[in-house]
Amino acid sequence: MSTRHLAYVGEPITLQRLLLDPPRSLAAQAWSPSTQLGGVVSADGFGAGWYAFGRDEPVRYRRAQPIWTDASFASLAPTIASSCILGAVRSGTTTFAHDESIVAPYTQGRWLFSHDGGVADWHNARRSLYDRTIDIPEAAAPVDSALMFGLAASRWSAGTPLGAALVEVIREVRKVGGGRLNMLAVDGRSFAGTTYGEQLHVLEKDTGIVLAGEPYDDDPDWIEVPEGVLVEGNEHGLTLTPLEL
């Protein structure tokens, strides 16, 4: 499954300004991506998750339809602002179902998660790894991204830090065939992402940091993250660490 996705931490920003307004916004990327390595049009669903003041668990909105066809999201997006947001648009394949349950972001507790890419041997991976995710309800969705979310969320629940859990998931999936394992996760205060077979780009400003599958505008401060890197960001800044696999 191919996904255009982004994560943001920083000063509060509206969903409209982050996801819809930029010239190559997530909504624009859904029908005309510029750097997507797999798939073309992300018309098989979209989702957004954000954190409201005074609430640890995120709010999530997702649909199994193209983002540009949802008038309800277009109506609410200008009214909602948050300091931590994760958005994604989905390009599905015939291998997986087409319904809201397999659309990112996935959530458990205070975490949100998205995956861009694919597990190389999905059926073998599910047989081998699913029993490690059974305490995570959304891991049961019939798609490889849900399995990866379950593996990550089970580690977060056990106390593993946000980014370290993503690295552990890559290690585990590599044992059963690997794949393109580009992930994004947020916890309300920080984000983490991995470049493993797919691209990420980062934009760091005084007001906040964006980590995205592709740049949403022509700002010269966008930087492409090298392959094989864990990216972490919060109010204190940005760190890039080579994956130790």
Profile the chain (245 residues) by mean pLDDT over runs of 10 residues: 86 97 87 52 78 95 90 96 95 61 94 95 90 92 93 97 98 95 97 96 97 96 98 96 93
Where do we find the tokens 């994560």? 7
The architecture CATH gives domain 2-242: 4-Layer Sandwich (3.60)
The pTM (predicted TM-score) of the whole model is 0.92
User: In the chain, what are the domain boundaries?
Assistant: 2-242
